[in-house]
Amino acid sequence: MRRRLEPYLWLLFSGGGVVAALTLPVLVLLFGVLMPLGVVAWPSAAHLRALVDAPLVRGAVVVALTLCLFHAAHRIRFTSEELLGLRRWDALVAVLCYGAAVAGGVTAITLLF
């Protein structure tokens, strides 16, 4: 049995797909559409800060956002290769996509901790 990287990337992609499906639509609906349009009032800054106050919550937010980014990175890698014919450059495309996801995860950590 030879180990390969692909199954681990796929697990991150799948996990991220589930997290993105369950959480992102409602969050973008609230923070991106309803609050800016004034349909729903913005929560107070103190309330928002309290929401991500517990270290456990912060950790969960970092993990969730990073998984979502890995999900997006995986799909963008394959789709760009299929749409633009970049199959030969897979190694480079992969490093750029997953690298961006890692960078996003690090950004989340610096913002929350």
Partner 1 sequence: MTTARPPGHEEARPYVRPRDRWWFARRRSLAVFVLRELTSVLVAWTVAYLLLLLGAVADGTTERFAALAARPWMVALNVLALAATAFHAVTFLNLAPKATVVRLDGWRVPAWMIQGGNHTAWLAVSALLAYLVLRSS
Partner 2 sequence: MAAETIRLDVARYRPEEDAEPVLQSYEVPLRPDWAVLDGLAHIKDHLDGTLSFRWSCRMGICGSCGMDVDGEPRLTCGTFLAEYGAGPVRIEPLKGFPVIRDLVVDIDGFLAKLSSVRPWLVREGEEPPLTAEYAQTPAQLDAYKQYSMCINCMLCYSACPVYVLDPDFLGPAAIALAQRYNLDSRDMDDRFDVLNLEEAVWGCTFVGDCTRVCPKHVDPAEAIQRYKVTAALRSVLPWSGR
Pick the closer one to partner 2 by CB: 79 or 106: 79
Q: From the CB of 64, what's the least distance to partner 2, in Å?
A: 20
Q: Are 63 and 9 in contact (CB under 8 A)?
A: no
Rounded alpha-carbon distances, angstroms, from residue 28 to 25, 32, 33, 42: 5, 5, 7, 13
Residue 91 interacts with partner 1 (CB under 8 A): yes or no: no
Pick the closer one to partner 1 by CB: 22 or 95: 22
What three-state secondary structure class fits 35?
coil
Residue 39 interacts with partner 1 (CB under 8 A): yes or no: no
- Binds partner 1 by CB under 8 A, chosen from 9, 15, 63, 76: 76
> Which residues, 6 or more positions from 102, have their beta carbon under 8 angstroms from its beta carbon?
66
Residue 69 interacts with partner 1 (CB under 8 A): yes or no: yes
Stretch that binds partner 1, among 1-9, 39-47, 88-96 (CB under 8 A): 39-47
With both helix axes pointing from N to C terminus, report the angle between 55-84 and 6-27 in degrees, rounded to the nearest 10.
110
Pick the closer one to partner 2 by CB: 82 or 95: 82
